[in-house]
Structure 1
Amino acid sequence: MSKKLRKSGLLLTFILLLVSVVAACGSKNNNNASSGASPSGSESASASASASASASASSDTGATTKKVTDGMGREVEVPVKAQRVVALNNFGDLLALGVKPVGTINYYLDKYKDEPEAVAGIESVGDQEADNEKVLGATPDLIIVSNYFKPEVVDALQKIAPTYATTFGRTPYEQLDDLAALLNVEDQKQAFLDSFKAEAADAKEKLKGKIAEGEKVGILQFWSKKIYEHPTKVFTPLYEDIGFLPTEHVKTLTATTEVTQEAVPANVADADRLFIMVDGQPDRDTYDALKNSAWKNIPAVQKNQVYLVDSGHWNDFSAAALQWQLQDVVELLSK
């Protein structure tokens, strides 16, 4: 299987998992989107099953390990202060917390191809999934996975080093809360939140006069010859930080949903601007064909206010994605 196909399979798996998890979280989370830098500290159905990373077993302040319950409901003994983390998930969240993993998979390394300083010195421990021999070679003292990993995969990793599963589908802010407690980096979490708040304020200032008050945006994703729509919780920098309004259709979404080409014009009819997440030239060619045919009467298309953005960045649902979305909007609307 080619690298492109493996990458496509991994991101499509992410999309399909997001469908079920966001649906489980329900519409409650859509309105809790910004108490830290968008959905900070909001509760969700998955959160109740998620890790409580505060030390629960040791009252000895000199202890080097602590017991925590992870997103799979497992009690795991982890280092109080991990030094060598292998991140098979939550890579962007860890970087936001100032924790540079010693190893990760190429899927994440590829995301940062335009930010080489961010990944300098980080070992590849597999392509789109972990190679356990390479994980072992990285000599981790903690491995981060997600609770959608198969139990047998987690068990195999646990034999290499303590393996902690985060809860898939939680907002970036909830993931930061969880990981900061796990890794004892609360100060770094607050530093990121403060920095992002300042970055968001700066972005909003830069966009003054470029967008009108009350403008609505529609956001679509082209993937694997299909089109998806996501609820507002996936794009809080646009809604909560910059101040765009969701379309009337998006307000009804509680889960990632597939949509037909024919249904799109009605769904985005009230959008002043349209952002489309694409992965490479074939998706761009698809849009070029649609804008000259089935979508030619969409108001945002007619006003030439459609922006093609990187699917892997915008759909990452991580602290890194918050920054990428914000930066892209400022760059695109400042031209």
Structure 2
Amino acid sequence: MIVITILTGEDRVGVNKGEVKLNRTTKLTMLACLFLLFSVLAACGGGGNNAGNTAGNTGANTPAEGNQAAGGKEGNTQESATKVYKDGLDKEVEVPVNPQRIVALHNVGELLALGVKPLGTTDYHLNKYDPEKVAGVESVGESDPNMEKLVELEPDLIIVSSYFTPEVIAGLEKIAPVVATKWGLTPTEHLDALADLLGKEEEKQAWLDAYAAKVESVKAKIGQYAGEKAVVLQFWEKTIYRHSPTVFASLYEAGFVAPEQAAAVTQTEAISEEAVVDFAADADRLFLLVEDPSNKDRYNELKGTAWKDIPAVQKDQVHLVDTGRWNDYSASAMMWILEDLEAMFGNH
């Protein structure tokens, strides 16, 4: 999310999400036509396409295979039951008690942490995970959702973020119930909200236990670095950004410490190259989020400027890390940061 943030186009910057650009007249016109056609087909008894697409007792949303009870959806009262859920926009939404066909345009990391594989998501999310993790998950667009594809998938629940525009949400609501999670919550807060929505309290606790165990394991392996001060910055295009330390909670839970100036940052904001010198003046280590960690050209250029006076640069303790893994601000990113720390420092 970095760090932080998921933007439209996504892997952009921090917590100030951009708008989702979906109000194209042609798309909405096509959506209206498809929606009308879908309604006519349903009235003619074409509901057989749903067979085999509901998951088993685990509640996981496996799009290609499932264990639907005999008699189909019409005969399964648990699947047809609904409840009212207040989402991140303080909007009361009638949702399925046991949704089977979830399209997630946000919070994919939290859903996977709960053992729920969405039916579909955007390429932005699909490209972050190992192929086996998202096997069978349909693409519904690159960074913006393709409304026609969403209609085809027949979701029974769509999960978005509260930063989506009202116009986009209104369009999605014509396809299925839409729950907006609150933008700005921490990954564990999102985990709480989604566990409540989907009835996955046991799965949530299992993930929290596994995460706590991973933190302790990494701390034990990199204990010699405990207490070192670490600053995280993100390079995006020609701008440098700093983020709230909460975005990188795993880094600091593993034993590193945020210096006073870094600890005072509460939101994503740009910082000039010159200002970094003072901002990182107390840092023992500098973590730079970049698109390609193997490309050190820009960092090498900065080493010839006032950056040469930064203690971490002088001690050659600057680490280039993958912005796609560190900036997601998700449950998955919390684990990815720990894995990267273990790989970087665990064998020293």
Report the TM-score range of the alignment, normalised by the length of the smaller protein: 0.7 to 0.9
Q: Which runs of 5+ in 1 are unaligned?
A: 1-5, 19-59
Structure number with larger C-alpha Rg: 2
| 1:119-268 equivalence runs, <5 A | 119-209=134-224, 211=225, 213-239=226-252, 241-268=253-280
Q: Post-superposition shift, 1:73?
A: 2.2
**2:312 pairs with 300, 305, 323, which one?**
300
The answer as to whether partners of 2:219 and 2:254 remain within 8 angstroms in 1 is: yes
User: How far does residue 301 in structure 1 lie from its aligned partner after superposition?
Assistant: 1.1
* 2:203 aligned partner, one-letter code: Q
Tell me which residue corresponds to 2:106. Answer: 89
Q: Deviations over 1:282-325 (max 9, x none)?
A: 97421121123331221111111111111122111110110111
**Equivalent residue number for residue 32 of structure 1:** none
Q: Return the match for 2:334 from 322, 326, 333.
A: 322
Distance verdict in 2 for CA 1:279–1:135, change over 3 Å:
same
Structure 1 CA distance for aligned equivalents of residues 213 and 11 of structure 2: 31
Instruction: Label 1:277 to 1:13 Cα distance change in 2 as closer, same or farther (>3 A).
Output: closer
**8 A Cα contact 2:290 2:322, kept in partner:** yes
Aligned 8 A contact 2:124 2:142 in 1: yes
Q: Deviations over 1:5-40 (max 9, x none)?
A: x9874343654339xxxxxxxxxxxxxxxxxxxxxx
1:270 correspondence with 2:282 = yes
Q: Which residue of 2 aligns with 1:17?
A: 17
Q: Where in structure 2 are there 5+ consecutive unaligned residues?
A: 1-5, 19-76
Report the counterpart of residue 108 of structure 1 in structure 2: 125
Contact preservation (8 Å) 1:7, 1:107: no
Q: Deviations over 1:197-239 (max 9, x none)?
A: 1111111111123x1x421001101113111111111111111
- Corresponding letter in the other structure for 1:92: G
Instruction: Check the 8 A contact 1:65/1:78 in 2, yes or no.
Output: yes
RMSD of aligned residue pairs (Cα, Å): 2.2
Residue 44 of structure 1 aligns with which residue? none
Inter-CA distance 233–285: structure 2 relative to 1 (3 Å threshold):
same
TM-score, length-normalised on structure 1?
Answer: 0.80
User: Match of 1:326, SS?
Assistant: helix
Question: Distance in 1 between the 2:79 and 2:281 partners?
Answer: 61
Number of positions where the alignment pairs a residue of Structure 1 with one of Structure 2: 284
Distance (Å, rounded) in 1 between the aligned partners of 2:13 and 2:278: 28
The secondary structure found in structure 1 opposite 2:266 is coil
Q: Distance in 1 between matches of 2:158 and 2:14?
A: 20
SS at match of 2:203: helix
Contact 1:101–1:122 (8 Å) recurs in 2: yes
Q: Is the contact made by 1:278 and 1:284 (CA closer than 8 Å) also made in structure 2? A: no
Asked whether the 8 Å contact 1:222–1:283 carries over to 2, the reply is: no
Distance in 1 of aligned mates of 2:144 and 2:190: 21
Q: TM-score, normalised by structure 2?
A: 0.77
Q: Distance in 2 between matches of 1:8 and 1:88?
A: 11
Q: Distance in 1 between matches of 2:318 and 2:287?
A: 6
Q: Is the 8 A contact 2:13 2:236 kept in 1?
A: no
1:228 alignment partner AA: Y
Aligned partner of residue 117 in structure 1, secondary structure: coil
Instruction: Summarize the Cα distance change of 1:15–1:224 in structure 2 as closer, same or farther, 3 Å threshold.
Output: farther
